[in-house]
Amino acid sequence: MNSKSQIKNSKLIKSEAISLGFSSCGVAKAEFLEEEAPKLESWLKNDFHGKMQYMENHFDKRLDPTKLVPGAKTVISLQYNYFPKEKQISNSYQISKYAYGEDYHHILKKKLFELLNFIQENIGEVDARVFTDSAPVLERAWAKKAGLGWIGKHSLLITPQKGSFYFLAEIILDLELEYDHEFKTDHCGKCTKCIDACPTEAILPNNTIDGSKCISYFTIELKEEIPTNMKGKFNDWIFGCDICQDVCPWNNFSKPHQEPLFKPHPDLLQMTKNDWEEITEDVFKQLFKRSAVKRTKYLGLKRNIGFIKK
C-alpha cells in the first residue's frame, strides 16, 4: 500500500510539472526492464542501429535505472509538446518539426532541474539525475510503464487524444512515490499507415524500426556518404523525418505547443528549395544558431540537399 505521503508527493510533483509546461507526468517503479532486455539484444544483433556504435554501449544501464542512480526507487516520465502552429511551405526541403526552434535538450534540461529543485525544497533531499534523450535511458519503455501511452508500430510513444509529437524526459531518483499503472492497451489496432508510408521501409511489422534504413538516421546520424540505393526515397527530407507521425491518425489530435523557444526563425518556414540549395554557412549559422539542426553541421546539411537534388 502507498503511504499518504507517497500519494501526496506524487500529486505535488505532477502539479508542478504541469505548471512548468510539461503536458503530462507519470511515475513508475525503478526496476530492471525485463521485457525490454531480449528486444534490445535482438535489435543490436540484427544491426538495426547501423553505424550508431554508441547504441552498443551501456547495455546494463539501459535496462536498469539503479545503475544510473544507485538506490533509485522511481522513474518520473514527462512529456513536452513540440507540435508547431505553422509548418514549412510545401515546395521546400523539409526538416523535422522538433528542430524548428531552439534545441530541446537545453530547454527541457532547465525545466527538469527546476522540477528537481522543487522536489528538494518541498519534499526533501534526494539523490537524482535528469535525462532528456541524453543518456542510455529507454525513455519510451519508461513512459509506457508510467501510464503515459503505448508504443506504436513506428516505435514512438502515442498518447490517447494527444498523439506523438512530444519530447520525453525523465528524472530517476531515490524517492518512493505512488506508482501509476502501466499503459497496457495498444490502440493502433490493424492500422498500418506508418508502415505503408515509410519510403525506405524502415518500419518492420513487429513494432520495430530498422534504424539503419530510417531517413533520420541517414540525414543526422550517418557521417559518411549516403548509400546510392537510397536515391529518390527521401521525399525531400534533409534533417530527420516526420512521415510516420504525419500519417498517424492519432496525430489528428495534435494541438500547437505553447513554448516560445520552439518558434522557428521567421525565414525558415518560407524557404524554397532554391533557398536551401543556395544556403551559405553564414545563413546556416544565423538560422540554426540554437537549433538541433547544428548536429549535421553545414557540410552535412549540404550533403543531404545534394543527395536529394542530384
The reply to whether 89 falls in a domain is no
For residues 291-295, give the mean pLDDT.
Answer: 94
Task: Specify the pTM.
Answer: 0.96
pLDDT score recorded for residue 205? 84
Helix (H) or strand (E) holding 41: helix 36-45
Pick the catalytic residue: 64, 103, 127, 133? 133
Whether residue 78 sits in one domain with residue 111? yes
Residue 33 maps to a domain: yes
60 flagged as catalytic: no
CA 302, 308, 309, 310 torsion-angle sign: positive
Where in 30-111 does DSSP place strands (E)? Answer: 74-81, 94-95
Residue 271's domain spans which residues?
193-309
CA neighbor of 257 nearest in space, from 77, 26, 102: 102
Pair (139, 75) in one structural domain: yes
Cα-based torsion angle of the residue sequence 289, 104, 110, 286 in order, rounded to the nearest 10 degrees: 10
Contacts of 297 (CB under 8 A, 6+ apart): none
**Residue showing cell 539484444:** 41
Handedness of CA 230, 234, 237, 241 (dihedral sign): negative
Same-domain status, 140 and 215: no
Residue 310: per-residue pLDDT: 66
Mean pLDDT (whole number) for 53-62 = 91
Residues 33, 141: one domain? yes
Residues 67 and 199 placed together within one structural domain of the fold: no
CA-to-CA separations, 117 to 13, 30, 70, 304, in angstroms, rounded: 11, 20, 19, 42
Element (H, E) at 19: helix 4-19
Are residues 130 and 230 both part of a single domain? no
Whether 61 and 131 map to the same domain: the answer is yes
What is the pLDDT at residue 266? 87
Query: Do 10 and 136 have their domain in common?
Result: yes
Q: Looking at the 3D structure of the chain, how many domains does it have?
A: 2
> Same domain, yes or no, for 203 and 70?
no
Contact between residue 218 and residue 230 where contact means Cβ atoms under 8 Å apart: yes
Mean pLDDT of 138-153: 97
Give the pLDDT of residue 41: 94
275 located within any domain: yes
Return mean pLDDT, the chain. 96
Contact 80, 166 (CB under 8 A): yes
Under DSSP, is residue 204 helix (H, G, I), strand (E, B) or coil?
strand
Question: What confidence category does residue 84 fall into, taking pLDDT thresholds of 50, 70 and 90?
Answer: very high
Q: How far apart are the first and last CA of the chain?
A: 63
In tens, the pLDDT along 158-212 reads: 999 999 999 999 999 999 999 999 999 999 999 999 999 999 999 998 889 999 9
Instruction: Tell whether the model's pLDDT for residue 245 goes beyond 60.
Output: yes
Do 241 and 119 sit in the same domain of this protein? no
Residue 128 in domain: yes
180 falls within a domain: no
| pLDDT at site 134 | 78
Cα 154 off chain centre by: 12
Cell digits for 175?
A: 524517492
Mean pLDDT of 243-266: 97
Q: Is residue 182 part of a domain?
A: no
